[in-house]
Amino acid sequence: MNDDLTFYDWHGAPVAYSDDGETIYLYSGEPVAYLSDDSVYGYSGRHLGFFEDGFVRDHSGRCVFYTENAQGGPAKPARQAKPARSARYAQPARAARQAQPARAARQSAWSGLGRQFFS
């Protein structure tokens, strides 16, 4: 996996980034999730979705975010300019992780969750 990732929403707006291939930060500097294998987890331990082929997918198989090298999935909009990164907040402690749920079939559709994905 590429260590420097930018996560774009279905409008092409950069929403979050990871510069270590694990921790996901909003551009405000808030750490909101982390990658573990092919899963995305919140710091509460809640399983948020899957990271496959450059797409973050929700539990229904729809695409929430894409990275520059995403393959398959719905049409990717033009990427907008990245904002400046704010100073990063400290990472919270990681709670015990939920079990990974069964994967839904991949869909070539956008989820529309946007930043709510991290809530």
pLDDT, tens digit (0-9, with 9 covering 90-100), for 21-63: 999 999 999 999 999 999 999 999 999 999 999 999 999 999 9
pLDDT, tens digit (0-9, with 9 covering 90-100), for 90-106: 999 999 999 999 999 99
Residue among 74, 69, 57 at smallest CA distance from 117? 57
> Is the entire prediction scored with pTM above 0.85?
yes
- Are 117 and 49 spatial neighbours (Cβ–Cβ below 8 Å)? yes
Q: Report the C-alpha gap between 94 and 13 in whole angstroms.
A: 28
DSSP state of 110: B
Work out the burial of residue 101: count CB atoms within 10 Å of its CB; fewer than 13 is exposed, 13-18 middle, 19 or more buried: exposed
- Are 110 and 62 spatial neighbours (Cβ–Cβ below 8 Å)? yes
The domain limits of the chain are: 5-118
